[in-house]
Chain A
Amino acid sequence: MNFELSEELKMIQSLARDFVNERLKPLERDILGRAADLSDARAYLPREKEVELVATVREMGLWGVGVPEELGGAGLDALGVCLVEEELAQTVVPFHFGDITPILFDCNAEQREKFLLPALNDKKKPYLALMESDGSTDPSGMKMKAVKRRGNYLLNGIKLSFSRAGDDYFAVVFAVTGRGVTCFLVDKDTPGFSVTGGGERTGWLAPIREPMLLVFDNCRVPAENILGEEGKAFRLGMRWLPQRRVVRGARCVGIARRLLDEATVQAQSLVTFGKPVFQRTSIQAALADIAMNIEAARLMVYEAAWNSDIGKSVRRKAAMVKLYTTQMIQTVADRVAHVFNGPPYIEGLPMERLCRRALEASAIELALEKQRSIIAADILKGLKI
């Protein structure tokens, strides 16, 4: 058993680490705000700065990090993607290395030119329209319908999208057709399709994400805009989606590592009752607990990613990763709060945003129950751990 990363992976890791340390971390103040009342805090980097950073990543050859090479990405395997995402999660600057949802990887040649490549080249933003406004998080109870009329489909309904807004965009819409749920690609200028919300917030509201409303009013979409097959929307991206869960686990590990860094600096600099806090055993215990949790989670993530790379099914492993990392990040955030002498929601500190993200990651408790049932199903079928 060899836990050593290959030379190539080590290189990718150090490239990503240097990029985050040298290019992204200096920009953190731009995001968090410099003014005392944080009136200049913002959700995203200015457009021109982002274009510059994307160009740098392209030069490094890491743009489209998880996108297969034949679709124009860097085509790293799952372990490589995990290493990169773990580094990227260590800063509060919202930036990614061409992270496109694998649902779009099933585009045909024509759709690839029209939708996937512009999305990958940052020209068009994909708006994932899965959820609806009735508060239900169960995609199988979807209400929006698409009716077939003379070779076209008429879309009617309202969707919520948490994707990032942009000037040019297209929607990836899930709607019920006669035979199950079908996925449609709807371009910005399609008549009957309109978007409300999604404006960029500044100031203390900046980190709050609000969904956009995508309204479809008798929106006519041609049959060639169906992504994949009719009625089989939930079979899209089957090859890539399970390992995305592992990658999200890697992000949690990255956030936790940064939180540990912040906590260490705090522990070394704060003096209470005439004694530096790091000399107190409870603080040392908190730091040790955090480090142990991170180490365990990281090994789980790497092992699951490695399993995915050698072609094994990662369904159960990915469920375990999700379950463990979301619990881990909550424990870590809690321990860090302990070191900081109170809840870490002090606006303007990097750790406030990091904790926010950490809790976002575990927002859906229901989904965690689902992970447990995936693991239990394998055990009941006779799996021995």
Chain B
Amino acid sequence: MPLPVQRDIKEIEGILNEILNTRCPPVGRCRLLSSGFGTAHSLNIAEDISGHKECLGCGNCVDICPFLSREPSRREKTEQRTSMALESIVGEDCDLCNACILVCPQVDTTIKNYVVNHRMVEVMSRLESRIGDENEPDLDLFLEEAISSG
């Protein structure tokens, strides 16, 4: 949905890497680096809004966040579903999985391409180190007991 003419990734590569290295959901700042509302958003109103960079509040980033699906209680802190809300409820606990960037309709495809082509490998190894913590109890075992008992 962003504008068809998007900024060359070379211009913003430095700041983009800085954003991706910071432990905080990166989607909001990536959106601000993008080209803004595309012409597809232009309703029949007097003012031309193409190029504006507000969050739509679609909530995609809140839904996809793996940290929030592990700790759903944090979602109850606010009813808002904007990237700002995501930053405030996840903050430094961010996994840096970059999933929120990829689902945001307002982030430029050039940025998404850059993330997929240049930053996904390191995400994989980080996520891999998270899986399979043997000391974490397997809650499904309890669920199975509860369903099959009697």
Contact = CB atoms under 8 A, between A and B. Distances in A.
A292 interface: no
Contacts, number: 80
A248 B150 contact: no
A330 B132 CA distance: 28
Contacts of A138: 72, 139
B13 to A, nearest CB: 31
B145 A139 contact: no
B137 A373 contact: no
Contact of A161 (B142, B143, B146): B146
Interface string A122-166: 000110101100000111110000000000000000000111100
Interface stretch (A18-26, A217-225, A238-246, A300-308): A238-246
A140 B147 contact: no
B132 A248 contact: no
8 contacts: A126-B149, A137-B143, A363-B147, A364-B143, A373-B132, A374-B138, A376-B131, A377-B132
B129 to A, nearest CB: 10
Contacts of B146: 128, 130-131, 161-163
A137 B144 CA distance: 10
B148 A378 contact: no
B73 interface: yes
Interface in B12-42: none
A373 B149 contact: no
B47 interface: no
A288 interface: no
B141 A380 contact: no
B140 A367 contact: yes
Interface string A361-376: 1011001001001101
A163 B149 contact: yes
Contacts of A131: 143, 146
A333 B131 CA distance: 34
B109 to A, nearest CB: 30
Contacts of A374: 132, 138
Interface of B: 70-73, 128, 131-132, 134, 137-150
B137 to A, nearest CB: 4
Interface of A: 101-103, 125-126, 128, 130-131, 137-141, 161-164, 174, 234-235, 238, 241-242, 244-245, 248, 315, 361, 363-364, 367, 370, 373-374, 376-378, 380-381
B145 A141 contact: no
A141 B72 contact: yes
B140 A130 contact: no
Given A137-B143, A244-B141, A244-B144, A101 B131 contact: no
Given A138-B139, A367-B140, A164 B147 contact: no
A140 B139 contact: yes
Which has the most chain A C-beta neighbours within 10 Å: B128, B139, B141? B141
Contact of B144 (A234, A248, A378): A248
Given A141-B73, A377-B131, A101 B143 contact: no
Nearest to A131: B146
Contacts of B73: 141
Contacts of B72: 138, 140-141
A245 B142 contact: no
Contacts of B134: 315
Contacts of B143: 130-131, 137, 139, 364, 367
A139 B139 contact: yes
Nearest to A143: B73
A178 to B, nearest CB: 14
B144 A367 contact: yes
A245 B132 contact: no
A242 B134 CA distance: 13
A304 to B, nearest CB: 15
A364 B132 contact: no
Nearest to A379: B132
